[in-house]
Structure 1
């Protein structure tokens, strides 16, 4: 019996030993073996100088290593982050990550220990002390010199191109307008004459020949050219539509043919008179003949007589001819209207282009483009602003749009000291422009710790998708004397509309006034050229007041 118990005892002890070994194997199997080091290239710098902070991790090559990101080195600022350098040594990897840090205030600072995630296990680096020194300037060793007298310098010849281009543009614009109206009046006059019947146009042409005094100016060639053209144009429109390009003999032959066919009731003497004048005109134009003034004036009378007799000799048009002529006139009028519309459109487009060029020179391309196509933030700046009080304790603020009430979820810490939260917003934090006013009343006999409220600002931006957040804070006082803390900086976020990364500036005003907590947040796109002015106007309008006021 004792032997049996002894054997059982040995078996149990062996089982315990095996279980212990198995536990140790499992325990060691879950541990991550890694070495973490951190160092800086200098522990003492001048204000604004760069410190190189280097982290080095040695671990198994299969382990995932996540280095810290963002502003985790405060109170020092991260000004640059370098790519991770990896060196493989068998089954192990040595990963090196460097950061560029700086500080713009002198003093002694501690770089906090940094968290590194290696295969789901957290490792921490050691904290490092650094000193930031002022730049010493020894003014006693700086040589002093007498103040030099003023020296007259000839002003350089500078051409103000914008001013010159402006005046040139205005001159071109005015010149274009004048030319357009002169050309338009001339066209109107010409079109009015074209609408006259052929006979009246011929008589008007003869009258102008008389008023031109070409014979007195010894311009016989021009005189006979106009005289011949007047007769030919009338015949071209009323009898023979090739009269302008026909020779004198061809034209006379055609008229004889029309007389023989009975289409033209004109006597032979009139035809001979016309032939004589046209032949004289040919001699003047091509043989440099110079008839005397009396004969020239007599030839003018002959042409007028021929036109009058020809008008009387033309038979009255039939009804079909009248209808065809009316249709032709309608088509002609339609073509003229179309031509007017085209010319007017071209002139209007040219005028618009010239005007745009002038305004672009004066105001700049972006301003003109935004004025024509519109810009959401520019429209906010130019519309009538609204001053309203929001929340309790109330915050008075001027905004381009009325803020809409929104649900605000308080944290557990805030619930312990605050109650009655109210939030009013315009837009989204991922839009080009965002405004928010949040007010909370404090629970009786409990003071609000403003520093805790400020700490939550960064967490709020991160919760909304912000990253690479820079944080600065300073004391702030409104024009009415309310004091608080201004938190400001920038961050990156994906735009809700374009789905592209954009850099935003933010300003958050935090106040503990009137028995409560008030927070005003303004966020805007850095690339928006109008947003900064709008944001400053909003921030400058913030005032706190009693509910009794």
Structure 2
């Protein structure tokens, strides 16, 4: 696609745009003020049987259509003279080209001539205009505030994360030793005390109270007597305790077992039958559980552990403490990281609200054209006659001769093309040079029109074109065409608004062209374009 982009660039204007002279084109004035009306007139003579269709346009090239006048018809013998006028205007000063308009005569297209016009600024009468004092100098932003802002943000985030980590660690450290107990009775007694501190009964949470109360008793029985108490029903548990009492020779009275059974069944009624015991019954049940646990603990035969068993138990206890510490540490880290991310999210939201999303995106995510602008530039000479130019990246040579048509080859002795990117990329630049076999007189305005038509054939749509004279730093004169267009992506069929600039320079036996295209409104791409164009130096064509 890049190569085809330049297929017709070097054809002479007469060869490119030659058409049958059917439409006469004229304009009332070629120079006007901003906002003033240009009257474009199209005149043609057709037979009485011919059907002529004039386009309904909102814009003609870079000019806006403010009035489409009715067609005037003058009968002359067997022919008709048709006169169509368009009222055009432009609100930016500069030199513009009104492109040809396609008119259908008996379904055959005919193109009007293009006309160059100039829009001038309105002069201001400084003698009548009231003058005002010069405003005081205002200090600009030197960028230091942003640096301090980032530093302050980093300090706040790190400090906040450290505080959260310390606070959670301090609270959890107090619980670690409490959660790792030496004996089952110590654990059960501590949990019973904690249960009372929760004040579930006072809050009316009777079901939760009985559930925790019986879980404490079942856990103790499971750990101390080694009965699967948590998985057993009330009947199974009572039967297992009686069996264990016989095997382990535990001195248990029938009253102890009956009290445990009574409380367990009361808990079953509360949990499953929605029973509501009175306050004194709840207190009595709690006391019974505590007494049962103490009685069971006293009834278990005391075994004198040997030194190895004590060391093993202590090692297991220390291992359990380490596991608990690791879990708590991981939890503290997770809480601290979550808090930091939350703070970052809030800070980022405030930062975006103050600076704008574009600033944050370009700074943090690094806009592609921003990377080009701030990267290492290269200065190189391309083609013959040479174009010395500074670019963000080295331009790659493309073999354009393989696709040139025969009529072009008949005129061109040598052609070279160098590019970076493509029309659908963030930034696209091409440099092309050519040498003709014989001296030719090129019309740069016509060459520019030919280039734009090729761009249109390659996916450029709604092309708005302005043109003006251009001069390099060495004083070499050329033509500059610039404006906007819509670029169609052939892959995903999406379109984007783009800005372009084309520079054309002619020599006795050579032509040099530079084209730049990028997304419209990209400030970094605009800076790249300005730097590139300011670096242009041209060489004379050599034989």
Provide the aligned length of Structure 1 versus Structure 2.
410
Change (3 A) 1:45 1:385: closer
- The CA deviation at 1:151 is 12
Distance in 1 between the 2:293 and 2:109 partners? Answer: 116
Change (3 A) 1:358 1:199: closer
Distance in 2 between the 1:525 and 1:353 partners? Answer: 30
- Asked if the contact 2:63–2:89 (Cα under 8 Å) also holds between the matched residues in 1, the reply is yes
Instruction: Report the equivalent of 1:185.
Output: 166
- Asked if the contact 2:164–2:335 (Cα under 8 Å) also holds between the matched residues in 1, the reply is no
Change (3 A) 1:349 1:99: farther
Q: Which runs of 5+ in 1 are unaligned?
A: 1-35, 87-94, 202-232, 266-312
- Asked if the contact 1:427–1:434 (Cα under 8 Å) also holds between the matched residues in 2, the reply is yes
Write out aligned runs for 1:55-454 (5 A).
Answer: 65=53, 67=55, 78-80=63-65, 99-102=86-89, 115-121=102-108, 142=128, 174=155, 177-196=158-177, 237=187, 239=189, 241-245=191-195, 263=298, 329=321, 332-333=324-325, 335-357=327-349, 359-360=351-352, 363-408=355-400, 409=403, 415=409, 417-443=411-437, 446-447=439-440, 449=442, 451=444, 453-454=447-448
Change (3 A) 1:235 1:60: farther
Distance in 2 between the 1:196 and 1:82 partners? Answer: 90
- Asked if the contact 2:378–2:393 (Cα under 8 Å) also holds between the matched residues in 1, the reply is yes
Distance in 1 between the 2:321 and 2:397 partners? Answer: 70
- The CA deviation at 1:423 is 0.3
- The CA deviation at 1:465 is 3.2
Alignment partner of 1:519 is 2:504: no
Alignment partner of 1:505 is 2:499: yes
Task: Deviation per CA, 1:461-494: give whole Å up to 9, x if none.
Answer: 2332334333333332222443322222233331
Change (3 A) 1:167 1:133: closer
Secondary structure, aligned partner of 2:384: coil
Write out aligned runs for 1:22-37 (5 A).
Answer: none
Task: Deviation per CA, 1:140-198: give whole Å up to 9, x if none.
Answer: 8x4x98x899999xx9xxxx9xx999999987875564354234234434544544478
Distance in 2 between the 1:475 and 1:49 partners? Answer: 23
Change (3 A) 1:393 1:334: same
- Asked if the contact 2:161–2:336 (Cα under 8 Å) also holds between the matched residues in 1, the reply is no
- Asked if the contact 2:97–2:465 (Cα under 8 Å) also holds between the matched residues in 1, the reply is no
Task: Deviation per CA, 1:429-488: give whole Å up to 9, x if none.
Answer: 3444211110112336x2553535445333332332334333333332222443322222
The structure with the largest alpha-carbon Rg is: 1
* TM-score (structure 1 length as normaliser): 0.55
Secondary structure, aligned partner of 1:401: coil
Distance in 1 between the 2:407 and 2:512 partners? Answer: 16
Task: Deviation per CA, 1:94-145: give whole Å up to 9, x if none.
Answer: x999844136899xx99999652144245789999x99999688888x4x98
Secondary structure, aligned partner of 1:469: strand
Change (3 A) 1:238 1:262: closer
- Asked if the contact 1:510–1:519 (Cα under 8 Å) also holds between the matched residues in 2, the reply is yes
Change (3 A) 1:176 1:464: closer
Distance in 2 between the 1:60 and 1:323 partners? Answer: 114
Change (3 A) 1:510 1:176: closer
Distance in 2 between the 1:334 and 1:84 partners? Answer: 86
Distance in 1 between the 2:536 and 2:113 partners? Answer: 44
Distance in 1 between the 2:64 and 2:135 partners? Answer: 45
* TM-score (structure 2 length as normaliser): 0.56
Instruction: Report the equivalent of 2:211.
Output: none
Distance in 2 between the 1:63 and 1:315 partners? Answer: 120
Secondary structure, aligned partner of 2:339: helix
Change (3 A) 1:539 1:477: same
Higher relative contact order (CA 8 A, sep 6+): 2
- The CA deviation at 1:500 is 2.9
Q: Which runs of 5+ in 2 are unaligned?
A: 1-22, 72-81, 198-282
Distance in 1 between the 2:502 and 2:34 partners? Answer: 27
Distance in 2 between the 1:399 and 1:44 partners? Answer: 37
Instruction: Report the equivalent of 1:534.
Output: 528
Distance in 2 between the 1:371 and 1:150 partners? Answer: 35
- Asked if the contact 2:67–2:86 (Cα under 8 Å) also holds between the matched residues in 1, the reply is yes
Alignment partner of 1:491 is 2:479: no
Instruction: Report the equivalent of 1:291.
Output: none
